[in-house]
Every structure is written in structure tokens, then in C-alpha cells.
Amino acid sequence: MQRRALGISQYKLAEMILVSVQQIRKYEWGANRVSASRLQQIALALKVRPAFFFDEGLIVSKGTTVPPRVKEFIASPQGIALSRAFAKISDRKVRRIIVSLVERIVKL
């Protein structure tokens, strides 16, 4: 999820931590165990703490976590594209209008 959110390809991450692309795929699919030292390298490359990979839910604010369904959406290609586009909107009022619009659509 973090790799895709940063726009880093599997190939680029493999280069960054000096492993094969196949190894990155195996890590992401859970086919191979990630050692603590390798996890540290991946965390540094992706600009997160190693604990990021172990958190049950993403902490948003005091005691608030992101539900699994939302995490799955955020990790999807559509979620990443939407997040990137939304982050480029600097006007807070426009952001609020978009959120309000989406919330109204959900109620339909």
C-alpha cells in the first residue's frame, strides 16, 4: 500500500533495498518471510517506521483507527488515484464540497 501510494514501482523498491523484483513480489504476497533488518530497509525506503507494517489499523487521531474496508480501498488503484488527485486540491472549501457531495451520493 505505502509503496503504491508513493508511486514507487516494485522494480524501484527492489533497487533501493538491493533485492530482486521477484523477492519484492514474494514479500508483498506473503510468500517469503521478511527479516527484521530487511523490514528496516523497506521502512526507510518507504519513509515509514517499521511499526507501520504491524499496526492493526492506521491511527488517524486519538484512538481512532481506519476500518479494514477503508484500508482496502485506499490501497486499491482507484483509492490511490483519488487520494493523489484530492491531495492536489489546495482550497479547503472545495475539499469540503467534494466530501459533502460524496456523502450525499452514498445516501442515494
pLDDT at 58: 53
5-12 CB contacts, 8 Å cutoff, 24+ apart: 5/74, 5/75, 5/80, 5/83, 6/46, 6/47, 8/45, 8/46
pTM above 0.75, yes or no: no
The average pLDDT across 11-20 equals: 95
* Mean model confidence pLDDT for the chain: 84
pLDDT category, 75, cuts 50, 70, 90? confident
Which domains are delineated in the chain? 2-107 (1.10.260.40)
pLDDT at 64: 56
pLDDT at 45: 93
pLDDT at 57: 47
pLDDT at 63: 53
15, pLDDT greater than 70: yes
